[in-house]
């Protein structure tokens, strides 16, 4: 029995030795923790027994580098005095150290010590700064600054960015240093709003940390310049759809709508508007240069201008501009108006030709053209404009419904019709009679002119002869003039 007891004690002794050796080896290792500036990190004190298992006389100490920041002895707690110590809090159960509101200078080696046991933690702190506080306008270029602090040696870091659609974003330019990375990105679009992720990786220090940040891009849901076609005398509503509610933009901004007929012309402010931080939208009419209305009922986050009866000279560029903290972004709508006319105006008489004119107010895109055609007509009744032509004329001799189409990429954008009426039969007779009468009158006038010309020629010749006779008498002083005149 005594040998058995001795054997058991030996086994326990070996087990305890192995356990203490394991703890000792673990204590010699340094654990790594990652913290983000402004957030909180918890540093473990691994291997320490719970409070109930600790002797009342046990001393537990937390150190930052060689400086004691927290100590417990005989159940009495002590913290290093000063404002920085407010960052540190030790849990009562397992003596974990919580570091709140992290800053870069918090990086370093932290040691938890009790008895002969030491647990070391290497704290790396990252700070990611987004330019303009993450609030951008469309087409602005963001700049990201990633700063890193850690115990030496500093690890080599690689950075990968993911946008709100989880697509990798390649920086336009990257400036690297051991503790600072500056990344300049491409121009932002409204669809880039959302949560982005910055992945920091290092093989040498086994770092693989994701840092998320929010990007908000204020702008238009359809930012590209839009071309809108309209026919004369129709009603046109121009709309700009803003995205401030969709992205939960909680800051106030202003804007205005301007119109100018040509690129070089003076711009007229039609209305201005403001949006409060609560998303309330208010518009104010400013200009009397243009007959327009502000619709009473508009969709949310939408700016609208209504032209109840658009004229040919209402065409041009309509621009909606947003302004936030002195920065601007705009979206343009190019309004192109079509009109048709005839020369001469009125019913088309038989045998008479008429010119139909189709015209648009501004230049057309390269793949757009005008087309005249007669409804239910033949191929001969179709005429297309040449490239860049904004006016198309066609000479017609057939009555009916004629249509002018504006075609872009084989798609009819707008059409305008002109109904050519055929003159009644009696009008044709009147026209024919007038034509014949006019012809007779012209013939009579021509004959009268000829007769008058001949008579005038004879009178001229006779006068010439009499003048010659008088000259002859004066020179010869004879009486033979009577004989000469009777010839």
* Extents of the domains making up the chain: 27-125, 126-218, 226-320, 344-420, 432-482
Q: How far apart are CA 229 and CA 310, in angstroms?
A: 11
Give the tokens for residue 391.
């006016």
Q: What is the CATH number of domain 27-125?
A: 2.60.40.10
Q: How far apart are CA 292 and CA 309, in angstroms?
A: 9
Q: What is the CATH number of domain 226-320?
A: 2.60.40.10
Q: How far apart are CA 324 and CA 307, in angstroms?
A: 28
Rg (CA), the chain: 48
Give the tokens for residue 238.
């121009």
Closest CA to 59 of 43, 44, 51, 71: 71
Q: Classify 474 as helix, strand or coil.
A: helix
pLDDT for residue 51: 64
Share the mean pLDDT of the chain: 84
Q: How far apart are CA 167 and CA 425, in angstroms?
A: 75
The model's confidence at residue 475, banded by pLDDT at 50, 70 and 90, is low
Contact 220, 302 (CB under 8 A): no
Question: If you average pLDDT over residues 244-265, what whole number do you get?
Answer: 92
Let me know if the fold of 126-218 is the same as that of 226-320: yes
Contact 45, 63 (CB under 8 A): no
pLDDT for residue 287: 74
**What is each CA distance from 84 to 45, 124, 305, in whole angstroms?**
21, 18, 58
Q: How far apart are CA 167 and CA 418, in angstroms?
A: 53
Q: How far apart are CA 179 and CA 223, in angstroms?
A: 38
Q: What is the CATH number of domain 126-218?
A: 2.60.40.10
pLDDT value at 477 more than 50: yes
pLDDT in tens, 320-359: 999 999 999 999 999 999 999 999 888 887 778 899 999 9
Q: How far apart are CA 207 and CA 178, in angstroms?
A: 15
Q: HSE-up of 41 (CA within 13 Å, CB side)?
A: 20
Give the tokens for residue 287.
């200009």
Q: Which of 280-284, 329-333, 415-419, 455-459 is predicted least confidently?
A: 455-459
Q: Classify 312 as helix, strand or coil.
A: helix
Q: How many CB atoms lie within 10 A of CB 304?
A: 20
What class, spelled out in words, does domain 344-420 have in CATH? mainly beta
Q: How many CB atoms lie within 10 A of CB 28?
A: 10
**What is each CA distance from 85 to 24, 65, 93, 96, 122, in whole angstroms?**
30, 14, 20, 15, 19
Q: How far apart are CA 168 and CA 84, in angstroms?
A: 39
Q: Which residues contact 470 (CB under 8 A, 6 or more apart)?
A: none
pTM tops 0.95: no
Q: How far apart are CA 104 and CA 159, in angstroms?
A: 18
Q: Classify 297 as helix, strand or coil.
A: coil
At which residue do the structure tokens 């019709």 appear? 417
pLDDT in tens, 357-398: 999 998 898 889 999 999 988 888 899 999 889 999 999 988
Q: Which of 137-146, 237-246, 259-268, 270-279 is predicted least confidently?
A: 259-268
Closest CA to 268 of 256, 277, 280, 260: 260
pLDDT for residue 116: 80
At which residue do the structure tokens 């803003």 appear? 242
Closest CA to 44 of 6, 86, 126, 99: 99
Question: If you average pLDDT over residues 205-212, what whole number do you get?
Answer: 91
Give the tokens for residue 173.
């330019």
């Amino acid at each position: 029995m005594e040998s058995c007891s001795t054997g058991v004690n030996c086994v326990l002794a070996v087990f305890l030795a192995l356990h203490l050796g394991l703890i000792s080896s673990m204590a010699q290792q340094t654990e790594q923790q990652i913290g983000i500036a402004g957030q909180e990190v918890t540093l473990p004190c691994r291997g320490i027994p719970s409070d109930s298992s600790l002797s009342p006389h046990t001393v537990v100490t937390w150190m930052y580098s060689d400086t004691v920041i927290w100590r417990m002895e005989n159940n009495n707690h002590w913290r290093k005095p000063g404002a920085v110590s407010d960052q540190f809090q030790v849990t009562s159960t397992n003596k974990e150290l919580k570091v709140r509101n992290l800053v870069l200078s918090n990086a370093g080696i932290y040691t938890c010590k009790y008895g002969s046991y030491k647990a070391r933690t290497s704290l790396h702190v990252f700070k990611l700064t987004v330019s303009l506080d993450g609030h951008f306008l469309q087409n602005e270029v963001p700049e990201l600054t990633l700063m890193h602090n850690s115990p030496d040696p500093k690890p080599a870091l690689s950075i990968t960015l993911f946008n709100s659609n989880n697509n990798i974003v390649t920086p336009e330019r990257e400036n690297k240093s051991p503790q600072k990375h500056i990344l300049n990105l491409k121009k932002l679009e409204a669809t880039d709003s959302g949560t982005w992720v910055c992945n920091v990786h290092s093989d040498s220090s086994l770092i693989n940390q994701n840092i998320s940040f929010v990007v908000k891009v204020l702008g238009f849901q359809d930012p590209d310049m839009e071309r809108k076609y309209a026919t004369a005398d129709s009603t046109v509503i121009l709309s700009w759809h803003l995205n401030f509610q969709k992205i939960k933009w909680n800051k106030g901004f202003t804007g205005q709508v301007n119109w100018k007929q040509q690129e070089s012309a003076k711009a007229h402010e039609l209305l201005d508007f403001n949006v409060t931080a609560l998303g309330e939208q208010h518009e104010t009419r400013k200009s009397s240069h243009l007959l327009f209305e502000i619709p009473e009922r508009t969709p949310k986050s939408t700016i609208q201008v209504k032209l109840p009866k658009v004229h040919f000279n209402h065409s041009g560029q309509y621009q909606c501009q947003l302004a936030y903290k002195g920065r601007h972004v705009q979206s343009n709508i190019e309004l192109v108006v079509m009109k048709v006319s005839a020369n001469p105006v009125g019913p088309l008489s038989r045998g008479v030709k008429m010119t139909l004119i189709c015209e648009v107010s501004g230049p057309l895109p390269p793949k757009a053209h005008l087309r005249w055609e007669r409804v239910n007509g033949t191929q001969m009744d179709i005429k297309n404009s040449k490239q860049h032509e904004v006016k198309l004329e066609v000479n017609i001799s057939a009555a009916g419904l004629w249509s002018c189409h504006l075609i872009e990429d084989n798609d009819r954008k707008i059409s305008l019709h002109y109904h050519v009426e055929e003159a009644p039969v009696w009008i044709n007779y009147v026209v024919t009679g007038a034509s014949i009468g006019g012809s007779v009158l012209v013939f009579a006038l021509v004959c009268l002119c000829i007769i008058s010309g001949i008579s005038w020629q004879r009178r001229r010749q006779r006068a010439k002869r009499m003048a010659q006779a008088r000259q002859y008498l004066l020179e010869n002083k004879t009486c033979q003039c009577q004989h000469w005149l009777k010839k």
